[in-house]
Structure 1
Amino acid sequence: MAHDDSSGKDLAATSSGAGGLSLDRDLVPSKQVSGGLAVISDDNLPDPGLPPHRKRVTDQDPKKASTAQRQVYTLFYLSIAGSIFAIAAYMAFPINANDPGSVRLNTVFLGLGITLALMGIGLGAVHWAKTLMHDEEGIDIRHPVRSSDEVRARAVEIFHEGNVESGFGRRSLIRNSLIGALVAFPLPAVILFRGLGPQNEVPSELLSHTMWKAGARLTLDPSGLPIKASDVTLGSAFHIIPEGLNDAPDRLEQKAKAAVLLMRVNPADLNVSAGRESWNYDGIVAYSKICTHVGCPVALFEQQTHHLLCPCHQSTFDVNNECEVIFGPAKRPLPQLPITVDGEGYLIAQSDFHEPVGPSFWERS
């Protein structure tokens, strides 16, 4: 039967052998396709090939190439100068903990030097690649994972060709300046990291002695107010510093070694080793706040489990068992500060720590 659609074009439907309908293809307009049909073509598209190569100015004019070469090695030499400037700035503008202005000066000039060192290498490498290195398009054909000996030998030849095309072996000024820049660039980092460590002293000896001494009162951080044993309730924790630390000229350095966490647990829960029976007072214990992994401040006390947690790398210490390590990368317990009370009920230290505080990688006797 015939059907007249809204566009006035006739479509014919005939009964199929299976009782369905089929379209008479001769009556369907060839240029009109509905939105619900997909057209699939078996035609293979021709390979368009590579676009015509456009030569750069430096490829056509030797003078331009020489100018580009001078610019490249000048940038590399500028990088060397930046590295040297960063080292000089670090020494010329030392940081004084009590002078915020010294921190700003050190940061500004050190940053300028490192920026110059990085920028010189980056801009020089990019400028070299864009103006002087080989500039011909190519097609890489994928090969099996294990190439034949002939192909592998060809790979060696390609490296040689790359050297020739880049001019790395031929352009000695560029090569030498780049090598110099790469050698000089890490030097500021070496100087900076070296400055973080103790100078001309054995680390274990420095960390073996803090401001804690017999009779020194435990005071609250940062107020410096002394704390009584009666102020420390069961399950509580306090950040503690030695008495007089806030008035010390090297306050920050001393605090980095002497900071302590003070907690009170049920005395019956404490497992005390021989010789440490008098190191706590009625369940009040004090441990170094400096993690024995890399020196981060241990600052989280879990009241129910009596665990101390270092937020940096999740080292976990058990207060009930003399802060032994129960999880994480730390390799030894937190050093314990022996404490007691004076005649007025204030908590005091019995002595300094009996072992070096801080990270375990320091040399220890």
Structure 2
Amino acid sequence: MSEIERAGDAHGQGPGTTLARGQGGVAEKFENPGLPEHRHRMGDTDPKAARRAERQVAILLVLSMIGSVLIVVSIIGVKYDGSFNQISLSTKAIGLSMFLSLFALGVGAVHWAKTLMPDDERIDYRHRQRGTTAERDQAVAILKEGTDESGIARRPLIRNTLIGAGVLFPIPAVFFFRDTGPLPGDDLSTTMWREGMYLTKDPEGGRIRASDLGLGSVVHVMPEGIEDQEEILNAKAKAAVLLMRLEPELLNPGSGREDWAVDGIVAYSKICTHMGCPVALYEQQTHHLLCPCHQSTFDVTRECKVIFGPAKRALPQLPIRVDAEGYLQAQSGFHEAVGPSFWERG
């Protein structure tokens, strides 16, 4: 026995396996061992098992249909009253319903493929991108054969439930888009901020003294009295502000903004001008504000101009001042609309 044959036995190749020799007696490749013996599934040999699998697939598709209906019910059935509990309930109901719809549809499709569709091993040879007429006719024949093998024609229960699941599945998207409501128009141009309105801590409340803020401080603030607004969530979404204190010499205010800060304290809208996410990550060393959604980065020392990311507009600045007792007030409201810029502005 040669060294190569002994090596084959040592690696469990068996006496029937031979190796082609290259230069110097080095093995180059194995002979094609062929395909292993095909193992049939229960559904291939037992009609009862096939019918059982068919019913299981149908049940999963019906569950997907139920999930799609529940998404719509969750969207239109939960009425908002402005409370976080209602928002939490609606979000959980939509999420669970969407999970049921997607999960059942996916598992049903996988179970169908694993248990009922043919699993014979085949070899598909590559061919030119544009086949001949005969090859194209053959492709059509293969597609027809695949349709027959999938069982759509002879398994009406799966076919009908699949059609039902496919029809209902995209319907919730219509309600999702409708739920976004109309474009805000000029609504974001008007916030609750007015001249003389005090800055208060969010969410605990309480006015803020300029002397209470140390270098590097970051405070989330709201206008005083916002709790009395009827639509408090909408009011907060537009009026959210970040208050930061830097060394005064680091600031580079533009023309007309020289008095918008107080001893290095600046106030900027917290709503990203890209997609409206809350800009809440402050890098104290670089004086950059980062939006966690899409990584838009704003330079606080240069009027929060965009230095990185998809945002195209600086964060609007809120002019501030101090009263006789040292409390921070707004000089006026924002001079431009807050929030994202993906609609036309006047």
TM > 0.5 fold call: yes
Q: Which residue of 1 is the match for residue 241 of structure 2?
A: 260
Deviation at 1:216, TM superposition (A): 0.7
Q: Which residue of 1 is the match for residue 24 of structure 2?
A: none
Q: Does 1:179 align with 2:160?
A: no
User: C-alpha offsets along residues 32-85 of structure 1, whole Å, 9 cap, x if unaligned?
Assistant: xxx9xx999636778565536647557765x88677656644543442233112
Quote the Cα distance in structure 1 between the aligned partners of 2:44 and 2:127: 38
Alignment equivalent of 2:323, drawn from 336, 342, 351: 342
Deviation at 1:288, TM superposition (A): 0.6
Look up the SS of the partner of 2:186 in the other structure: helix
Q: 1:173 to 1:265 in 2, by over 3 A?
A: same
Q: Does 1:51 align with 2:42?
A: no
Report if the CA contact (8 A) 1:53-1:136 is conserved: no
Q: Which residue of 2 is the match for residue 137 of structure 1?
A: 120
Point out where structure 1 has 5 or more consecutive residues left out of the alignment. Answer: 1-24, 26-30
Deviation at 1:122, TM superposition (A): 3.3
Look up the SS of the partner of 2:235 in the other structure: helix
Report if the CA contact (8 A) 2:277-2:291 is conserved: yes
Alignment equivalent of 1:86, drawn from 66, 71, 83: 71
Deviation at 1:192, TM superposition (A): 4.0
Q: 1:42 to 1:228 in 2, by over 3 A?
A: same
**Counterpart amino acid of residue 37 in structure 2:** P
Q: 1:116 to 1:221 in 2, by over 3 A?
A: closer
Deviation at 1:273, TM superposition (A): 2.8
Quote the Cα distance in structure 2 between the aligned partners of 1:183 and 1:59: 33
Report if the CA contact (8 A) 2:267-2:318 is conserved: yes
Quote the Cα distance in structure 2 between the aligned partners of 1:358 and 1:263: 19
Identity, % of aligned pairs?
Answer: 52
Report if the CA contact (8 A) 1:114-1:188 is conserved: no
**Counterpart amino acid of residue 83 in structure 2:** N
Quote the Cα distance in structure 2 between the aligned partners of 1:66 and 1:125: 16
Look up the SS of the partner of 1:203 in the other structure: coil
Alignment equivalent of 1:231, drawn from 206, 212, 219: 212
Deviation at 1:351, TM superposition (A): 2.0
Q: Which residue of 2 is the match for residue 28 of structure 1?
A: none
Equivalent runs, 1:88-237 vs 2, <5 Å: 88-98=73-83, 100=85, 102=86, 105-106=89-90, 109-130=93-114, 132-133=116-117, 135=118, 137-143=120-126, 146=129, 149=132, 151=135, 153-168=137-152, 174-192=158-176, 194-195=178-179, 197=180, 199=181, 201-237=182-218
Quote the Cα distance in structure 2 between the aligned partners of 1:310 and 1:210: 21
Look up the SS of the partner of 2:113 in the other structure: helix
User: C-alpha offsets along residues 275-326 of structure 1, whole Å, 9 cap, x if unaligned?
Assistant: 3333233433211111212222222333443322223333221222211111
Quote the Cα distance in structure 2 between the aligned partners of 1:266 and 1:84: 57
**Counterpart amino acid of residue 122 in structure 2:** I
Quote the Cα distance in structure 1 between the aligned partners of 2:121 and 2:284: 67
Report if the CA contact (8 A) 2:43-2:116 is conserved: no
Report if the CA contact (8 A) 1:224-1:244 is conserved: no
Quote the Cα distance in structure 2 between the aligned partners of 1:98 and 1:136: 54
Look up the SS of the partner of 1:239 in the other structure: strand
Give the total of aligned pairs: 325
TM-score (norm 2): 0.76
Q: Select between 337-346 and 322-331 the one with higher mean Cα deviation.
A: 337-346
Quote the Cα distance in structure 1 between the aligned partners of 2:77 and 2:43: 45
Point out where structure 2 has 5 or more consecutive residues left out of the alignment. Answer: 20-29
Report if the CA contact (8 A) 1:50-1:137 is conserved: no
- RMSD, aligned α-carbons: 3.8
Look up the SS of the partner of 2:165 in the other structure: helix
**Counterpart amino acid of residue 157 in structure 1:** A
Q: Which has the larger radius of gyration?
A: 1
Quote the Cα distance in structure 1 between the aligned partners of 2:80 and 2:89: 8
TM-score (norm 1): 0.72
Look up the SS of the partner of 1:226 in the other structure: coil
Quote the Cα distance in structure 1 between the aligned partners of 2:283 and 2:148: 65
Q: Does 1:352 align with 2:337?
A: no
